[in-house]
Chain A
Amino acid sequence: MAADISPALIAVENLERIYQMGEERVVALAGVTTEIRQGSFVAVMGPSGSGKSTFMNVLGCLDQPSAGSYRLKGVDVGRLPPTELARTRNREIGFVFQQFNLLQRVDALGNVELPMLYAGLPKRERRARAEAALARVGLADRMRHLPLQLSGGQQQRVAIARALVNRPACLLADEPTGALDSRTSLDIMALFQALNREGVTVIVVTHESEVAAFASRVIRFRDGKIVSDTEQAPRDAALALAEWSEAA
């Protein structure tokens, strides 16, 4: 790490997150220190209750640490007021959820335009960028479809297009394949890998080791702490997809 010249995109130090549930103190994060470089593909693993989701929420600026520091692109975002936090989520973070979280009454274009609406971009630019993002995820011919008219995989692609459209510093995906069948999961992981090769930082939270296999670095959580942090040669999702098709 010391030899690495690229600056850390994300740097957390002694990160703690403690909830007060009535009488009980729940320690979700108990002192986490790590760095994530620009352009990496990281899988965050751990059993439920290990703190990986809380870690994800803090990285995504949805939640704030009780103690410790969190620097995103060198800026300490751990202490920002709600309005600034919202701005940071809007500009720097792209979320992908297990349940896609698309607005049901709005078509694919409208869903992808949503983050730009809050960025205050003019209509013409929003439309152009949303179209480009949907084309990038392979949905150029589905722009006017409502979520209900799309398959699960297509809905997740819309969600990824929405996450990408403000050109964020990193993509945060929380169990992105949890609601998809295995073929579609490979599809989505291949898309993440392709985006990562183009320079997008991808952080995937998962409890499935098959999914983590596509990352180049795996961080494991247990009881609010990092218990292992390993680099690995990632499995190629596009290749896996081809093999899968042959077998079928």
Chain B
Amino acid sequence: MSFLDAILSSLSAIRAHALRSVLTMLGIVIGVAAVIAMVAVGNGARERVNAQIQSLGANLIIVIPGNITQGGARLGTGNASTLTDADAQALKTEIPAVQAAAPLVRGGVQVVSGGQNWATSAIGVDLDYFVARDWAVERGREFSEEETRRGGQVALIGQTVLRELFGGNDPVGAQIRVRNVPFEVIGVMSPKGQSMFGQDQDDVILLPLQTARQRVVGTNRAKNRSVNQIMVKIREGEDLSAAEEEMRRLLRQRHRIQDGRDDDFSLRNMAEIQATREESARTMAMLLLSVAAVSLVVGGIGIMNIMLVSVTERTKEIGLRMAVGARPLDVMGQFLIEATTIALIGGIIGIAAGMGIAIITAMKAGWPLLIDPLVVVTAFVFSGLVGIVSGFYPAFRAARLDPVEALRAA
């Protein structure tokens, strides 16, 4: 019997038991759909995490104050005001790997413009901030050196603030009041989107560090050189962890921390956060992969089960086929092809379903749709293999039937 004839004949047998065949396929469908969706969702998520890290600024190490012990009580991170602009300056000048070190202060503020007002966060920055965050002004201009040093009353606003306060009108040159301090808007920052922690990075106004600290968010006049964090950008190609070590040594020395005592600051490395993210993505992928593997195995067992039932049910048909000239190999081929066809149809449905899930997820989550053709081909081939493996024993049993016995079957 030719291969094509065998396939046509198996399709007719599958159609004869349509419901049963579809139920049999289900395991394969779920397994393959899980694989396709898993890889697509995983790739999309990774792509987005990368984009987010890119938006935050790559090669970043964030220094925050904290980890101090006062009278035996260990205070949480960020409570101390031990970091200063001078630390930032020192990091930049003394460590060659540091490209930019941006000290910043931040606080929640109410911004008023004409009849509108909006609650947002104000960040006091110097010029290094734009380098460290890789963030450009879309309209207008950056602060001048003079303005950051002398405490000019100028502000840059994010896209969200622009929308809320100016409704899209050109804000450059407009006056706004932040905690009753008047500022002139000199520019609008380009859009950054959501951070990977889900914050709107565009809901912000940027002020010169000095002005912000002294007139807007500064709470402690006595320590008016202190900052909330220092964002450090490491030069491209430099070793992040080596740079981190150097920074730690320098800051310990500057803060006069004796050996054996805890740092009064913490270093946060974007690469670490990225690694954590990837680790959890990998865990998720492994989970889905095991779901896929289990469904494929269960699907294979289902196919084997149904094929055994089918061989028993069709014993008489097998006997007849043998009587009119089917060789054992023909009978074997017939059932193998039938099992494989069921598995492949299941695979195709699974690929379609998986792609559907990937498309919907990508749309909802707003990340790019990444379907790897290699994965699709692999899933297809794999479902075929499951069919062959699980169809083998039933087909072998069918081929070994004694024609006389088979014809006598009910």
Contact = CB atoms under 8 A, between A and B. Distances in A.
Interface stretch (A83-91, A148-156, A204-212, A222-230): A83-91
Nearest to A56: B404
Interface string B317-334: 101111111111110000
Interface stretch (A34-42, A114-122, A194-202): A114-122
Given A101-B316, A120-B2, A86 B322 contact: yes
Interface residues of B, number: 24
B1 A120 contact: yes
A95 B323 contact: yes
A114 B322 CA distance: 11
A89 B324 contact: yes
Given A114-B321, A117-B1, A57 B326 contact: no
B328 A115 contact: no
A103 B324 contact: no
B12 to A, nearest CB: 6
Given A62-B407, A105-B12, A118-B1, A90 B325 contact: yes
Contact of A115 (B316, B319, B325): B325
Contacts of A147: none
B200 to A, nearest CB: 63
Interface in A37-63: 57, 60, 62-63
Contact of B403 (A62, A114, A117, A162): A62
B19 interface: no
Nearest to B9: A117
B322 A103 contact: no
Interface string B6-36: 0001001100100000000000000000000
Contacts of B403: 62-63
Contacts of B146: none
Interface in A104-150: 105-106, 114-115, 117-120
B322 A89 contact: yes
A97 interface: yes
Given A62-B404, A97-B407, A120-B2, A83 B329 contact: yes
B5 interface: yes
B324 A82 contact: no
Given A62-B403, A103-B317, A117-B5, A82 B12 contact: no
Interface residues of A, number: 25
A162 B325 CA distance: 12
Contacts of B321: 114, 118
Nearest to A58: B404
Contact of B326 (A63, A86, A91, A105): A86
Nearest to B406: A62
A106 to B, nearest CB: 7
Contacts of B328: 82-83, 86
Contacts of A120: 1-2
A51 B12 CA distance: 38
A119 B324 CA distance: 9
Interface centre among B317, B324, B327 (most CB of A within 10 A): B324
Nearest to B5: A117
Nearest to A110: B12
A101 B325 contact: no
Nearest to B4: A123
A119 B2 CA distance: 10
Contacts of B13: 105
A193 B351 CA distance: 59
Given A101-B407, A115-B324, 13 more contacts: A60-B323, A62-B407, A63-B404, A82-B328, A86-B328, A89-B325, A95-B324, A101-B316, A115-B325, A117-B5, A118-B1, A118-B321, A162-B324
Interface of A: 57, 60, 62-63, 82-83, 86-87, 89-91, 95, 97, 101, 103, 105-106, 114-115, 117-120, 162, 166
30 contacts: A57-B404, A60-B323, A62-B322, A62-B323, A62-B403, A62-B404, A83-B327, A83-B328, A86-B322, A86-B326, A86-B327, A86-B328, A86-B330, A89-B325, A90-B324, A91-B325, A95-B324, A101-B319, A101-B407, A103-B320, A105-B13, A114-B324, A115-B324, A117-B1, A117-B2, A118-B1, A118-B321, A118-B327, A119-B325, A166-B325
